[in-house]
Amino acid sequence: MDRRGSVVEPQSGLPSPSPRDPLLSPDSHMDVQGYKWVRWRVWLCRLAALLSLGLLLVVFHWRPRLAVLARCSSCPLALADILLIRDSFGQQHVVEVLKEEMEEDSLELLGELENTEWRDTVQLFKEEKTLLRYYLFEGLRYIWLDRKGAFCRVSVLNEDWTCKDLYGFQKGLSHLEQSLRRRMYGPNLIDVPVKPYIKLLFEEVLNPFYVFQLFSITLWMIDNYYVYAICIFIISILSICISLYEIRKQSITLRNMARFVTNVTIRRNSGAEEFVSSVDLVPGDCIIIPQEGLLLPCDAALLAGECLVNESMLTGESVPVLKTPLPAGEGTYSSETERRHTLLCGTQLIQAKGGGPGGSGAVAVVTSTGFFTAKGNLVSSILYPQPTNFRFYQDAAKFLLILGSVAFIGTIYSFVVLLRSKATWRELVIRSLDIVTIAVPAALPAAITTGTIYAQSRLKSQGVFCISPPRINICGKVSVFCFDKTGTLTEDGLDVWGVMEGGAAGFSELVPELRLLPPGHMLSGLACCHTVTLLQGQPLGDPLELKMVESTGWTIQEPEGDGKVLDAEFGGHRVLAVMRPSIQQFPSQGPSSEAVAIVQRFPFSSALQRMSVVTVTRGGRLALAFIKGSPEMVASLCRAETVPAQFSSKLQNFSSEGLRVLALAYKPLDRNTDFRTIERGEVEKDMQFLGLLMMKNQVKPESPKVINILRLAQLRSVMVTGDNILTAVNVAKSCGMVGSDEKVIFVNATPHTAQSMPALTFNLEDGGTQSSVEVITRSLYQGGFSYHLAISGKSFAALCDHFPEYLPKVLLRATVFARMTPDQKTQLVKELQKLDYRVGMCGDGANDCGALRAADVGVSLSEAEASVASPFTSKTQNISCVPLLIREGRCSLVTSFSLFRYMALYSLIQFCSVLILYTVKTSMADLQFLVCDILLVTVLAIVMGRGGPSEELHPCRPPASLLSLPVLGSIFIHTCMIILGQLAALFITTSQEWYVPLNATVYGTANLPNMEDTSVFALSGFQYIIMAVVVTKGYPHKKPLYYNVVFLCLLCVLFALMTWLVVYPGPFICKHLQLYNITDMNFKMLLVAVAALNFLICFVVEVLIDLGILNCFRLLRGKRESKKQYKRLDILLSNSPLWPPLNQRLSSTDHTVISVS
């Protein structure tokens, strides 16, 4: 048996046309290695830990992999006690394999239930006893499947369930079955671990930062720096206490949000109903939902009745959604594809009806529990966030290594100097190690998060909430922002613009008011084809459907009690709702204007682009099916002879005016059919076309302003919508994504069919005459005007499958993506990221969840403070939050850069001071270190990040690399100026007539007070303040320095303090700071003048670096290509005389393309 294995996570999304085993899918897996305890190794490690005074345990805590390799030996996964897991991000984790004994008779029962999977799980060691082997990783349970030879998610046991299987569970589970499943699946809890304070303390103290601090404090105590060491110790203790409090507080808050236990009613296979704790629920349990609803503790498939659900906690969708019973079929059940029939954990069921006895309540079957639920997914994304692949954070670690190298050089230098001074070996070791504590600032990682903390606080005050603070800095590097259309760029609500009936004879005249329609199938379809429901007598549902129903003038009535009265009125069919026309509308009650009952609903699906209902008239005399959806989809489901010949031209006209166009169709059904079990596929075929409904979707007033701001900042905007391509192009023009002088080119890609090969064409929006097309084409190729590509979801799919070589070029120029399914939106974001774009996505959180989470910066417009949809949630229901987020991101990134450089320069200032003083056989005093580190540096670093973002978005983005020429060049030049400044102070002092040389027989602090230390300390004190001003950036991404009033006042106070310490410190200060009382006022003023000159030079140098003076060094190496693919491709396309190839039919065999290596 192999010693290595893989844990493969099940795929979600649209079903693949060819069946595949998700366990064997290569896309998403974790590499797992098995290890077994070796007793003698364990004891040897214990002995080594004892001899090293626990140091080995600290190393094992930092590097768990080493602990496993030292104590264990490799073994097959089936026999492993410990697993070493490498996740898909390359991070390593150590988990323990747990074992649980099962009942003896469980094998027979499992064999009846799942002959393929469950039996394998428990037959390992059958000859000894029945054991279940599993481990827990990030809340999820993975069990050993012998037949697969791997640990698999426990959800694999139910992921192949079909809709028919779920209906089989409607009779309920026995006590034994449920007990056994509970052992397999574990408790139904989303349990966020809240560690005790003592464990948190150990973990926090063993953080490398605090270990380094402990090492430093010990060293300082040995070196008699008692006051300084005690102060740093107290600050560290306070920092640890605050950190522990915050971590525990956040854990408790998250646990209170995640942990939910209630009592629910379940059905047993005996037919009896039981009241049980939600903790005991398992997949396969049949739950009875009361009429008044409940907060759902699991994911479940709705089998009987209808539920009105508020999903805002998960998706951010503020409008309650009507869930209908799952269609019974042979297809595999998926919560993604069957979203309209799935009740999600953590959502509030407002109302349930039509499923239980007496017509109240509903029936559902549990499909997922614990962390496998939708709510578990949200909690997991907060608990275990995806690591951010951001250059700034990677460079920060590398820069610490550079400072470590500087410390190593300083250590060698100090060792040589001290050796020549005949210092004792104790002093040699202590002084050399002390250089390391000075050169490498332990507070550096903590300091660079200050800007992010301030930005998060400012965002929260403006209604933007963030569950992943490191992504705030990434906002500053966004290069393309994708927007959903409906509800994001445009208003949620729509106004009915008109309706046009159509048939084989063509279209009738446009009717502006739905109430003016004559009685007939069109009016009935508009009144009935919806999922509007009543809550406390008020209609509730999708804004579009509410407006449509309201415009017809019909009223909705829902069954009361057991609903038998209405059922009897409509031929004995189970009635979901009744639509009644107003009496004033049709005084003469014709046969087509009477009340109509809805007896079956198939809700709208983004993937299917349609919804349908089945209706009957009084007495069940006439049964009709109605369908409503995208015109192209509805037309494809209609009999060809019923679709008007002018269908395409009418649709094009209405869509290009920016109207939201829906088509309706109907067909008669056999009234004796059992409509409760009728399949969707049976209803939605061979329809008869009825007509078009046009609705006006107004662009939000903020949208054009925001798009213009992004455009001026040279940030690309992209629209990704499920609407018609012409409507989308019109909205793109209305909100400014496409300029009035810019052309739109439609990309049409067709897949391989039995009749034709794949083809790709690029067509101008306005066809025009042949000559006009040639003129436009010529000017296009000559750069006469800019253009935008527009592509539909079908063409996008064909482009990805058959023309992958053209995909990057289309993505580079495409602005409108229409008729995109939720999965395609996610795919688009990932494809843009492959071109090295930093992608932002803004949507309402309903159909955009996948794309919002895949994006580098996802913003959900929602009332919730945190949603499963995205890292950022904005309570402002328009896209004005986008420039705000980018401005804050840029401000945070610039602040992080400033703080990073300041902390590095602070270390280098002190490093230079100490080495210079070591050279002349002295050192800084205890309280001098304290003044520099606490009074000057720490206070300045805390308030430096307070400056807010600039009011405008600048076209240039801030840099993200700390190892770039401007950053390293700046630090190097400033360090040279620091050394020159301190040496100048020293040489000016030694050149004075009154200068008294040091006592050469003693060393270090024994030589204090002295003139050399006093002058170097004075100048270095000014340098800490100088560098705070020099590295604090303002324009163009932050407000100028004077807006940060606290920082400005502090600079003035500290400058005055240092001037006072130099000019007139007084005997008390001189005594305690161990400063030499120099009486020459001219000399003191000269020191202040040297500091001023140092400031002037550093400031001018920084300004010149900002203006790009260091770029002259880049000229020496020659011009290099950009590392970003999209920039290289942009240059290639700009120089290509024949792109895009207008009015040419390209086949997938053509390879005359531009490649990007």
Residues belonging to the active site: 484
Residue 319 DSSP label = S
Residue 126 DSSP label = T
Query: Which region holds residue 740: left if phi is over 0, alpha if psi is between -120 and 50, else beta?
Result: alpha
CA atoms within 13 A on the CB side of 515: 11
3-state secondary structure of 291: coil
3-state secondary structure of 164: helix
Q: Could you list the beta-strand ranges (E) of 804-941.
A: 814-818, 839-843, 857-861, 872-874
Q: Which of 335, 332, 356 minimizes the C-alpha distance to 344?
A: 335
Q: Give the amino acid at 3.
A: R
**Strands 610-617 and 623-629, how do they pair?**
antiparallel
Q: Give the amino acid at 1013.
A: D
3-state secondary structure of 984: helix
CA atoms within 13 A on the CB side of 1094: 30
Q: Give the amino acid at 433.
A: L
Count of other CB atoms within 10 angstroms of residue 75: 18
Query: Crossing angle, helix 965-990 and helix 1011-1031, to 10 degrees?
Result: 150
Q: Is 112 exposed, middle or buried (0-12, 13-18, 19+ CB in 10 A)?
A: exposed
Contact 866, 904 (CB under 8 A): no
Q: Give the amino acid at 90.
A: G
Residues in Cβ contact with 220 at an 8 Å cutoff, skipping those fewer than 6 apart: 226, 228, 229, 232, 434, 437
Report the alpha-carbon angle 366-189-170, nearest 5.
Answer: 15
- CA gap 547, 801 in Å, rounded: 39
Q: Which of 272, 110, 119, 116 minimizes the C-alpha distance to 177?
A: 110
Q: Which of 181, 122, 95, 196 minimizes the C-alpha distance to 370?
A: 181
Beta bridge partners of 625: 614, 667
3-state secondary structure of 671: coil
Cα–Cα separations (whole angstroms), residue 896 to 451, 519, 854, 1041, 1044 = 6, 68, 25, 15, 16
Contact 121, 184 (CB under 8 A): yes
Query: Crossing angle, helix 1045-1063 and helix 1081-1106, to 10 degrees?
Result: 150
Sign of CA dihedral 526, 528, 529, 531: positive
The order of strands in the sheet holding 716-720 is: 464-466, 872-874, 857-861, 839-843, 480-483, 716-720, 814-818, 787-792, 743-750, 759-764, 1146-1147
Instruction: Count Cβ neighbours within 10 Å for each residue of 1028-1059 and write b for 16 or more, e otherwise.
Output: bbbbbbbeebbeebeebeebeebbeebbeebb
User: For the chain, what's the residue count?
Assistant: 1157
3-state secondary structure of 568: helix
Cα–Cα separations (whole angstroms), residue 336 to 12, 62, 306, 380, 573 = 7, 39, 19, 18, 30
Count each helix (H run) and each strand (E run) in the chain, helices first: 40, 40
